[in-house]
Structure 1
Amino acid sequence: MTTPWGVSELARFPTDPRDTLRAWDAADEYLLRHLAGTDDAPPVDLSGSVVVLGDRWGALTTALTAAGRHPVQITDSYLGRQATRANLARNGTDPEGVRLLSTRDTPPDRIDVLLIRVPKSLALLEDQLHRLAPGIHEGTVVVGTGMVKEIHTSTLRLFERIVGPTRTSLAEKKARLIFCTPGSLPDRGGDPWPLTYTLDADAGAGAGLAVTNHAGIFCAERLDVGTRFFLQHLPQGTGASRILDLGCGNGVVGTAAALAHPGAEVLFVDESFQAVASAEATYRANLFEDEAGGKAEFGVGDAATGIPADSVDLVLNNPPFHSHQATTDATARRMFAGARDVLRPGGELWVVGNRHLGYHVRLRRLFGNCDVVASDPKFVVLRAVKR
């Protein structure tokens, strides 16, 4: 990526030679040009406290660090954080010298420049603006960026309501900037997140569970139809002593599995910090570890990386097939391969997915077998056994 301060070598994480997607786009380039003052505007003073929210693969953080600034990065994505670390090192910067925070960490007390890569989730933007608002002052420079298709009227209204008067730039290469002037907003209101609700009787093994959803997780305001279908067909009484809810989201699947397997240890793993926080809150609201003799662990990570091989009896998985705006099966591939590595011989992987994704083909290649447990016109539940 060529920036006003030089050329940065960037890659997504984990690196995959088959992946043709770049680690930056026109929105990142547009914002960096604006900051440097190369688009017929004065440069932005970056000498104070600079916070970068939602930097997807570390392009903004890496470029600003190359310019001699040391921004604080805030992200919900473990993969985004790891990409930032790798890209900083790739460009000659010690990653330990840059402050990398998650969306669950306490934000800086004072923010002089706030740079926002508009997220796909409007709820996550709302939550983070509320969390950052106490550190914003009248002199704070607030600039957002995104592709035109990512910025809607509702996006601008959020900036207006939580931060102050907002306007947008002209579009360039299908990217746009958002300029927001902090002001006194007595009607800002409180942060509505997290949301909680109780599942109805149609939720199968999840019926009656209290669910907690932090902002930004998939279908945070309701139970999505794929998970509902999965809950209706979860394995019961398999004798599993160690269960992995892989890509756990709000944790309802792993919590239901814990109830169905008293005494089992359940691992909840997701690459989203918001998701893992949701999963822990959901589990704690419905189970106490000393009641059933089991226990739970909660971890943010890339698929099953870091879990010992041959250590899990049952893996439950509802893999995503989007990475930001791109449709890809790369995450599912890593999850399936990771599941096979961590399963004990005889252990089972249960997967729910849209029928058209053809997961059964890949599972048969990996495991040598794949059974259809249940299906309807839209979804299918598959089971693969490690031989």
Structure 2
Amino acid sequence: MNNTHFSHAGRSFNLIRYPANHQHKSLQAWDSADELLMSHCDDTLQDDARLMIFNDDFGALGCWYAHNQPLWISDSWIAHRSLQENLNANGLTCDISDTGRVSSPVNALTSVDALSVTPTTVIIKIPRTLALLEQQLIDLRRCISADTQLVAAGKVKAITRSVLALFEKYIGPTTTSLAKKKARLIFCTPSEPLPTVKSSPFPTRWTARLATGQSVSVANHANVFSRQSLDIGARFMLEHMRVENTDKVIDLGCGNGVLGLNALSMAPQCHVTFVDESFMALASAHQNVAENFPDKLEQCRFEPSNCLETLLNEPDHNSYTKVLCNPPFHQQNTITDHIAWQMFHDSRELLVKGGHLIVVANRHLDYHVKLKRLFGGVKVLASQQKFVILSAAKR
């Protein structure tokens, strides 16, 4: 049975990691850092507090503080869906905005939305990517006051000197609590005036050479995988991709969209759908198409989704001919292969008969066995010492 019953300080919730049917029985939707934040903030938070919550992995904090009607910010589509499911499951019926996100009792924003409210209290879960934390602190500088209280939390191993230095650099004096259950709190007091800093270092940029020889400038927002350079797996994939003008392509887990850019360069008439669960990734991909292939924007879509769930809910979903994928092997701070497995399942369902899933991955992950079991066969398109490119056709 899944570990979904959360009880703390006399209150109880049923909490899942979205999607519930893929949640491993050993994983839960909260951690000791959440509990530390709740214990501390319950003692200090006023009923009329203007509360902001950042990086709530699966909506535990959003449910706990729903009565405060907080502004809730996450870059993760899965976190947004978890928040919605968990609010509804615990009798906190929520309203959904035109963008498909919760608007009440929690007002859920993405990491690329502007912050317009001056909070009295800010709660931050330390994210896996320090660049995301840095951008969020930069965003907070524009709306906090000298009276705003900032409280952050994470596992002890996540509270590094680099993390504390970011709070000091952008906000002000920073201290930590003692460790409890392998988690720790961070307290930060805004300086008046705030520390002087240069403009945001994000998005970062570098130049990539595509398979056609074309060079493109690639912009990367703070939470994009391989933000500082083209990752080795993607580079290997660029060399071995084959795309036709008649193809309807999905760049799955698109990141900055470099595989989709390569497809547009190779086959100028193809259609590309960029899919990622990170809103910053989709913003990066959109910017990169707009800047490098402005005349191709009408041939492109940019969809936030848990794997290919969003597309599978559309009536004409099985019309795609190629899915290009460089799968992740972690979710937040948990190493897992269930995301890749769901990506493969969704791709098989979405593809036309004869369509191909093309995967680049570390050899040691042994995706060859999974794809053979799922598709009935798999071909090795290319291999090297570290990476392999696999192709599986829908029969």
TM normalised by structure 1 equals 0.93
In 1, Cα distance between the equivalents of 2:201 and 2:286?
A: 19
Residue 71 of structure 2 corresponds to: 72
Write out aligned runs for 1:26-105 (5 A).
Answer: 26-37=32-43, 43-65=44-66, 68-96=67-95, 97=104, 98-105=106-113
Residue 242 of structure 2 corresponds to: 235
Kept in 2: contact 1:289–1:296 (CA 8 A): no
Residue 244 of structure 1 corresponds to: 250
In 2, Cα distance between the equivalents of 1:47 and 1:259?
A: 54
2:17 is aligned, of 12, 29, 34, to: 12
Kept in 2: contact 1:309–1:344 (CA 8 A): no
Q: State the shift of 1:362 in Å.
A: 1.1
AA of the residue aligned to 2:9 = P
AA of the residue aligned to 2:206 = Y
Residue 174 of structure 2 corresponds to: 166
Aligned length: 375
Q: Are 2:203 and 1:188 aligned?
A: no
Query: SS of the counterpart of 2:241?
Result: coil
Q: State the shift of 1:260 in Å.
A: 0.9
Kept in 1: contact 2:49–2:68 (CA 8 A): no
In 2, Cα distance between the equivalents of 1:335 and 1:305?
A: 9
In 1, Cα distance between the equivalents of 2:7 and 2:58?
A: 15
Q: Are 2:311 and 1:311 aligned?
A: no
Kept in 2: contact 1:53–1:116 (CA 8 A): yes
1:271 is aligned, of 273, 277, 286, to: 277
**1:350-369 Cα distance to aligned partner (Å, 9 max, x none):** 00011011111111111111
AA of the residue aligned to 2:268 = P
Kept in 2: contact 1:53–1:75 (CA 8 A): yes
In 1, Cα distance between the equivalents of 2:49 and 2:197?
A: 26
Query: SS of the counterpart of 1:199?
Result: strand
Rate the CA distance shift 1:186–1:20 in 2: closer, same or farther, 3 A: closer
In 1, Cα distance between the equivalents of 2:391 and 2:246?
A: 15
Residue 121 of structure 2 corresponds to: 113
**1:235-260 Cα distance to aligned partner (Å, 9 max, x none):** 14x45431110110000101101111
2:350 is aligned, of 342, 358, 362, to: 342
Instruction: List gaps (5 residues or longer) in structure 2.
Output: 1-5, 96-103
Q: State the shift of 1:213 in Å.
A: 0.2
Rate the CA distance shift 1:365–1:256 in 2: closer, same or farther, 3 A: same
In 1, Cα distance between the equivalents of 2:291 and 2:10?
A: 50
Rate the CA distance shift 1:309–1:19 in 2: closer, same or farther, 3 A: farther
Residue 157 of structure 1 corresponds to: 165
Kept in 1: contact 2:50–2:68 (CA 8 A): no
Q: State the shift of 1:19 in Å.
A: 4.0
Query: SS of the counterpart of 1:209?
Result: strand
Kept in 2: contact 1:147–1:174 (CA 8 A): yes
2:265 is aligned, of 259, 264, 282, to: 259
Rate the CA distance shift 1:18–1:116 in 2: closer, same or farther, 3 A: closer
In 2, Cα distance between the equivalents of 1:121 and 1:48?
A: 28
**1:289-347 Cα distance to aligned partner (Å, 9 max, x none):** 36xx9711111111111324321011100010001121111111111111111111111
In 2, Cα distance between the equivalents of 1:330 and 1:172?
A: 30
2:334 is aligned, of 313, 317, 326, to: 326
In 1, Cα distance between the equivalents of 2:372 and 2:294?
A: 38
Write out aligned runs for 1:368-387 (5 A).
Answer: 368-387=376-395
AA of the residue aligned to 1:32 = M
Larger mean CA deviation between 73-82 and 302-311 belongs to 302-311
Query: SS of the counterpart of 2:172?
Result: coil
AA of the residue aligned to 2:247 = S
Q: State the shift of 1:221 in Å.
A: 1.2
Kept in 2: contact 1:24–1:59 (CA 8 A): yes
Query: Share of identical aligned residues, percent?
Result: 40
Larger mean CA deviation between 11-20 and 48-57 belongs to 11-20
Q: Are 2:290 and 1:284 aligned?
A: yes
Kept in 2: contact 1:52–1:116 (CA 8 A): yes
RMSD of Structure 2 on Structure 1 (CA)? 1.6
Kept in 2: contact 1:205–1:234 (CA 8 A): no
Kept in 1: contact 2:77–2:279 (CA 8 A): yes
In 1, Cα distance between the equivalents of 2:138 and 2:50?
A: 18
AA of the residue aligned to 1:80 = A
